[in-house]
Chain A
Amino acid sequence: MDELIAESGAPRPVAAALLQLIDRIGEDELRSRQRIAERDILTMGITFTVYSDGQNIDRAWPFDIIPRVIDGSEWDGIASGLSQRLRAINMFIDDLYNDQRVIADGVFPADLLAASVNYRPQLRGIHPKHGVWAHISGTDLVRDDDGRMYVLEDNLRVPSGVSYVIENRGVAKRAFAELFQRQRIRPVDGYTDELNRLLTSLAPDGVADPQLAVLTPGIFNSAYFEHSFLAERMGAELVEGADLVVGGDECVYMKTIGGLERVDVIYRRIDDLFLDPESFLPDSMLGVPGLMRAWKAGNVGLANAPGAGVADDKVVYAWVPDIIRYYLGEEPLIANVPTYRTMYDDERRFVLDNIGDLVIKPANESGGYGIVIGNRATRDELDRAAAAIEADPRNWVAQPILSLSTVPTLVDEGIEPRHVDLRPFVLTSDRSYVTPGGLTRVALPKDSLIVNSSQGGGSKDTWIIDGMYGSGPA
């Protein structure tokens, strides 16, 4: 299905004003606005980094001018579903690192936890502020042909893309100024303030005006632009591991031109295995020796908490609906994509028998890597996937092939439907915040389902619309 155009070919009500405008200005004017938008992106230095041929290349962020639009009332339902999901997931993580009631009660299998590569047993017994581990998440949503939104993935480790949500809006506002004037489109600028509030709330007890820092792996990371953007917007310091040191007092300090200065809260954008060579990978050059000691002693706040990734695993994903029911006593408001767990004999048999009609996913890859789409794979690729599943059934899941919804997109051939997904960002502390909309990623080649920007995907602004200003007709 298409997000903007109904089966009848008529614009959906929420997209009527946008499509009328595109119709009125024509493709040439639309292309000229697209070019202006691309120039804006270049001069504003909105980039992402790709690694190819042994070189890191700083590329202009790919942006399609035609936005995706969602009606405000539909969005409110989705936002409630996302807050619900993250509340439950956080209770689950906290439980796994403490009492493990969920295992004792037979809801979650113990051997699954034992086999998890993202569980950090050295963190057992820790109970972070608000009981929250995954403060910042970027949940991937897709809409299937039935018109329903499904959660495709929970990204709980270091999800990226939120800076592009905000930058895309800046560009879209200039491209379609007349639409922003007439329609109530929810602003997205508030995110960095909310993030600032959240990080501030993680400060050690008694620190009134905490020093915040964004910890980046450095300029070569694909999301460096975002790290810098968030630090800039929050007035936080952007630091690398080598800028920080843990003192004898188990506090974290940064090296300034005036000497050492205390850091109270770190938004870490480094994978937790690299965070602290004392606790995790001993040869990590990115991390800060002693950071875990400082965190355990309550001398520094960390977001996301190390170990939060235990719930960000395509196998654990299959249990999230049960997790929501177990901790909250509620039915999930947003559905999971039905997921076959190849660790169970009957489900594995079904997957192997129907492998050509399923999507096969490795448990712990991100960025779309390692995924086999059954009806697009060669016989040979399917045989290799089947062998990999048999060799390590815990490491795979399978899902039916969804037909992602489309949005009209300006491509070389003209304005054509292209498949999209949506990544809203959810902040969880003593309360929840969901970005209005999120990052819409679009697969630019015809019929492609791969939306990742590292693999040729583009992006669109996402408008949550609450009707028109004034009382005129839509």
Chain B
Amino acid sequence: MAQLLARTADRLYWGARYIERAEDTARVVRAYNELVVDYPSQEMLRWEPLAALAGSDTSVYVPPSDPAGEITVVRFLLADRANPGSIVSTVAMARENLRTTREVMPREAWQAVNQLSHYVDATASGAVERQLRDRFLVRVVEISRRLDGILESTMTRSNEFRMLRLGRLLERADMTTRVLGVAAAGILELETASRGERSIDQVRWMSVLRSVSALQMYQRAVRGPIDGLSVVRFLLSYSAFPRSVQGCLDDIRGVLSQLPDPEVVLEVLDETQRALSASDPDVGRGVELDRAMEATQAAIVRLDRAIRDRYVASVV
């Protein structure tokens, strides 16, 4: 079999990242949705912290007609084409990238991408309304999972497959840190409101776990009531859980070791690993959790850069 074209490697990597981004965004919004329903009714849970998924400095304008920011933020994350991280935008980018790699992917896989794109285009705006929202989000996750299943069960373990895996894993690690960043923003908001609502802490952390589909696995691994510190440690370091940052880094290491000449990237991966191990934030304080996540994200960005330099840009 021929070696993988550098251009194709780039498109596969980005295509997979965008799909994972769409899936993870859907998971996070879904979990927040559930949190809203569970929340004590005298409290108004605001949606703005969720906008931080698109980056911690994101701000959205919420009109007075939308007091909780719900419609504004959900539209921003699901259906806003001007937001490059929204589900419509990331799915469109995924399709644009993977449309140029059809010849190396199983046909069924391309059809799943295509199906996702048609579905999202037709449905995203309507899904801003609560009534249709959950069904939409579930469907996005399902099609993305089906795509992974197709690749897992029908694609040769080639470098093409490995670039898709790398894209998925890197984005997944990044999104887990973003979810923790959102939690930090939420804690910050509570602190500012200085209401010290410790009673709802547990509900909030439960929601964080749900955002990365980790609640059940967390409970099997960690005994006792849910507390912030062990949630953060679980999502960062519990390597047996595949959506934890550590789990993603381990898998990235495994994939890299099978790609040609990965040494330079492995060195950067070691740095990322050190940055992750060094972060053990005090989760009671929003500022500190936020800062720790920023640092971890920065390390992941450097890893992404190294992957691209090695497998795309540096090629003759």
Contacts and interface: CB of A to CB of B under 8 A. Distances in A.
A22 to B, nearest CB: 29
Nearest to B260: A258
A256 B5 contact: yes
Contacts of B260: 257-258
Contact of B5 (A42, A44, A45, A255): A255
Contacts of B159: 257
Interface in B105-150: 107, 110-111, 114-115, 118
Interface residues of B, number: 28
B99 A219 contact: yes
Interface stretch (A1-9, A235-243, A307-315): A235-243
A259 B4 contact: no
Contacts of B107: 44, 232
B15 to A, nearest CB: 13
A37 interface: no
Contact of B2 (A44, A45, A211, A245): A211
Interface string A219-233: 100000000110110
A44 B311 contact: no
B311 A42 contact: no
Contacts of A259: 3, 315-316
Contacts of A245: 316
Contact of A232 (B7, B103, B311): B103
Per DSSP, chain A at the interface is mixed
Contacts of B6: 243, 255-257
Given A45-B114, A243-B7, A255 B316 contact: yes
Contacts of A471: none
A219 B259 CA distance: 27
B3 A261 contact: yes
A200 to B, nearest CB: 14
B100 A261 contact: no
A157 to B, nearest CB: 22
B158 to A, nearest CB: 11
Contacts of A258: 3-4, 260-261
Contact of A240 (B2, B7, B118): B7
A73 interface: no
B96 to A, nearest CB: 8
Given A43-B115, A239-B5, A243-B5, A257 B315 contact: yes
Interface in A236-270: 236-240, 242-243, 245, 254-261
Most buried by B among A43, A257, A261: A257
A256 B100 contact: no
B110 A45 contact: yes
A239 B115 CA distance: 26
B102 interface: yes
A260 B6 CA distance: 10
A228 B7 contact: no
A219 B3 CA distance: 22
Given A44-B114, A45-B114, A256 B99 contact: no
Nearest to A216: B100
B7 A237 contact: no
A256 B102 contact: no
A256 B118 contact: no
B283 interface: no
B9 interface: yes
B113 to A, nearest CB: 8
A237 B102 CA distance: 11
A219 B98 CA distance: 11
A238 B12 CA distance: 14
A259 B9 CA distance: 13
A228 B107 CA distance: 11
Contacts of A237: 2, 5, 103
Contacts of B5: 237, 239, 243, 254-257
Contact of B100 (A44, A228, A255): A228
Most buried by A among B3, B103, B111, B118: B103
A42 B6 CA distance: 29
Those 6 A-B pairs whose CB atoms lie nearest each other, nearest first:
A256-B3, A232-B103, A231-B103, A258-B3, A45-B114, A258-B260
9 contacts: A44-B114, A45-B111, A219-B96, A229-B103, A232-B102, A232-B104, A238-B8, A256-B6, A258-B4
Interface of A: 42-45, 58, 211, 219, 228-229, 231-232, 236-240, 242-243, 245, 254-261
Given A219-B100, A255-B316, 19 more contacts: A42-B118, A43-B111, A44-B111, A45-B99, A45-B114, A219-B99, A228-B103, A232-B107, A236-B103, A237-B5, A245-B316, A254-B2, A256-B4, A256-B315, A257-B5, A258-B3, A258-B260, A259-B316, A260-B316
